[in-house]
Structure 1
Amino acid sequence: MAERDTFFLKHGDGEWELAKGRVEGNVTTLSLVIPPGETMVCMNASYNYETLQRYIRSLRGNPLVETFIAGFSEENRNIWCLRLTNAKVGDEGKIKLMVVTRVHPYETASSYCAKGLIDFLISGDQSADKLLSEFVFHIVPMPNPDGVYNGLCKLTMENGFDFSHGNILTCRDKAGRAILDLVREIRPRFVLDIHSLMDRERDQIGSSDERLLADFMELMPDQVDVGRRWTVLLRKYEAPKEPPSERLHYSLTSYCVEDLGATSFILGFSWFGRSFEMIEQTAIRALKALTASILRAH
């Protein structure tokens, strides 16, 4: 809770600013001078369901992107999936890489990461075009739209499902079932799960493949320019002895590793010390490092 003393503030169509508050127990108190009109006060810079809807509409007609609805949430919001590849190059031999962001509603930096990745891949940049000829990307930018819409922290609804800490096999939530059906259909070879953090000094990283993790960290070491060092969450995956359906925790990425034979990769980035552009560029740098590491071992 002590790290929740800094909030994002935006007046009307102006730029985002930072406001410092006072933390006492579970309450943060801000003293603000608010001009007439609309002011947004957010723990993390806003990126809501309607923002995503508008962004999806802006991509229609782009030959590099196929947008489709993978399913619907309990409150009947769209769960979008974007497929990006060079259609002029056959899919045979391409590597399937699935990217999932914003499973936790308050982690808005991950939405800006997704936007940064998509914009880069369709930019016409030579390195992006090369990746589109070597990979088929499936990006799920907001698998938990109800949680985002209702301003929750990690769950799909009150007492709902947590994609990272619940059991995806026993989940009855429509969003969870939709994503499970999607990964079963796509059968990705690699799954990148991007989060955002409150930590001001460390970013998070982990993988079910120790060698892939080491190669990635060689290409993208600690980001000391913004005062960040990696905290390694997972160096390799070891499945528990209990059957998956009997476990309390069996996340989406765990399912992809154990049931689909995929390799998982987890990243977590913090807003602190980073602008919107820096967050997006950090995600692009991470994608380049990950794909280079994959191709090195391929």
Structure 2
Amino acid sequence: MMLFPFPCAMFQNIEGNAPKTGDSPMKHIQVLPIEDGGNPRTQDDIVETAGSFLIRPFSEDGDANYKFRFDVELISSSNEPVPVDFTIEWADAEYAKFRRYMLLSRNDSWQRIPAEISGTTAHAVVQAPPGRSQLGMHPPFNYTRLQTLVQELDLAVFTSRSIGRSLQGREIYAVEAGLPGKRPLVITARVHPYESIGSFMTLGMIEWLGGRSAEAAGIMQNHRIVILPMPNPDGVAAGFCKRTIGGLDINNAATSAEPEGIALAAFFRAMKPMASFDIHGFMHNSDGFGTNDIRRGQAIANHLLTRPDLFNKKLGVHESQDTEGGLSNLGCMAQHEFGSVRFGGSWSWYDRDSAHLRAMGVEILKAYTGQFS
């Protein structure tokens, strides 16, 4: 297992106190809920007992198959790393093998820390660095960061708009580049709130297109690319695992009466996309995707495998003519109504840093656009 560099100098000092002889290191430590994207939501579920912390994450619908999210703020006023004992009470043993780690992060640097599983709990000792950091299971990327990204887009390259509002009034953004009026190639990510890998991949796509290299310019001269980087902003902000505030799994948005579903279905019907590519993440150590066009899917996989430095895990592609959600799935709806090609799959962030994930997004974009002229 590779651990990414995580120097203490990266962290802002809080008060800057050095532990004194006989002083309890825990007096320098706070563990707090996070307003934008935190899980659990209240201090009551972050319990300090006998020099350790017990954290009780929640799943909004009780589906343990998606209960892979906790995000708390870790604050240390010490000048030195402080070992902190954490126990995460998942209240589920069935999927425990996927929870054998914790993630210590600050901005776009993170370190995966092995955890010991016992029944329904995961336990690890974390070296809390000076200042503020975040402890969770996935690299953090919240709605506020997306808003900043949209506000800072290069308007000479991109257009952005809201395709609608969530139940709680947050904008659902679409970011577009390339040839206006052409049938677009749509990319969606972060349908399920905990799957933050999609945010880093689409960030990489946007950064690369905005860099205006000759290769990027060539793609934009021949394609219309529309990215939906966070169709479920309420779920991300609320610390959810799978659903929207109104209970919708956006995998099944096409027939939903929830505001997110209405907005997304209307968007797809207005765009009539040539193809859609849905980016997910899951608790595994491999990559893979399905498609109703296995020839194009295999060509995309072959392109990605020319970059073993990036796609350095098992990569699978399979034919999928329908999904469990049937025509309630946006990609399936577009396939049946407009003849769109549908791609959707899951990618692993294990042992990959932010730059790696962003570069993966770029290669997926190149491979995807390369299949359509």
Unaligned runs of 5+ in 2: 1-95
Does the C-alpha gap of structure 1 residues 115 and 238 become closer, same or farther in structure 2, counting only changes over 3 Å?
closer
Is 1:68 equivalent to 2:156 in the alignment? no
The question of 1:53 aligning with 2:53 is answered: no
Say if 2:292 and 2:321, in contact at 8 Å, map to a contact too.
yes
Cα deviation digits, residues 140-163 of structure 1 (max 9, x gap): 0000001101111111137x1112
1:38 maps to a residue whose letter is: R
Name which of 259, 277, 280 aligns with 2:358. Answer: 280
With over 3 angstroms needed to count, the CA separation of the structure-2 counterparts of 1:126 and 1:36, relative to structure 1, is closer
The one of 227, 249, 261 equivalent to 1:162 is 249
1:235 is the counterpart of 2:319:
yes
- 1:1-298 alignment to 2 at 5 Å? 1-10=96-105, 15-35=109-129, 37-59=131-153, 61-85=154-178, 91=180, 94-157=182-245, 160-164=247-251, 166=252, 168-169=254-255, 171-200=256-285, 202-221=286-305, 225=309, 227-232=312-317, 234-238=318-322, 250-295=328-373
- Equivalent residues of 1:8, 1:16 under 8 A apart: yes
What is the CA deviation profile of residues 82-110 of structure 1, one whole-angstrom value per residue up to 9, with x for unaligned ones? 11115xxxx46x45101101001000010
- Is residue 66–residue 84 contact of structure 1 (8 Å, CA) maintained in 2? yes
Higher-RCO chain (CA-CA 8 Å, sequence separation at least 6):
1
Distance 1:62 1:238, change over 3 A: closer
Instruction: After TM superposition, give the deviation of residue 184 of structure 1 in Å.
Output: 1.1
1:5-48 CA-to-partner distances (Å, cap 9, x unmatched) read 2222136x694222221223333223224356433111001000
Answer with 1 or 2: which has the greater Rg.
2
Q: Given that residues 187 and 260 in structure 1 are in contact (C-alpha distance below 8 angstroms), is that contact kept between their aligned partners in structure 2?
A: yes
| Cα distance change on mapping 1:35 and 1:236 into 2, 3 Å | closer
Tell me if structure 1 keeps the 8 A contact 2:268–2:334.
Answer: yes
State the alpha-carbon separation in 1 of the partners of residues 109 and 206 from structure 2: 23
Aligned residues of 1:167 and 1:248 also touching (Cα < 8 A): no
Residue ranges of structure 1 left out of the alignment (5+ in a row): 241-246
Change in Cα spacing, 1:95 to 1:9, as seen in structure 2 (3 Å) is same
- Structure 1 residues 97, 148: CA separation in 2 closer, same or farther (over 3 Å shift)? same
* In structure 2, distance between residues paired with 1:97 and 1:118: 14
Deviation at 1:67, TM superposition (A): 0.8
Distance in 2 (CA, whole Å) between partners of 1:123 and 1:137 is: 15
Equivalent residue pairs, number: 277
Aligned equivalents of 2:120, 2:338: Cα separation in 1: 41
Larger CA deviation: 14-23 vs 174-183: 14-23
Secondary structure at 1:67's aligned position in 2?
Answer: strand
Q: CA contact under 8 A between 2:108 and 2:354: conserved in structure 1? A: no
With the length of structure 1 as denominator, give the TM-score of the two structures: 0.85
The 8 Å contact of residues 291 and 342 in structure 2, kept in 1 or not, is answered as yes
Q: TM-score, normalised by structure 2?
A: 0.69
Shift of 1:195: 1.1
- Is the 8 Å Cα contact of residues 253 and 262 (structure 2) preserved in structure 1? no
Aligned-residue RMSD, C-alpha? 2.3
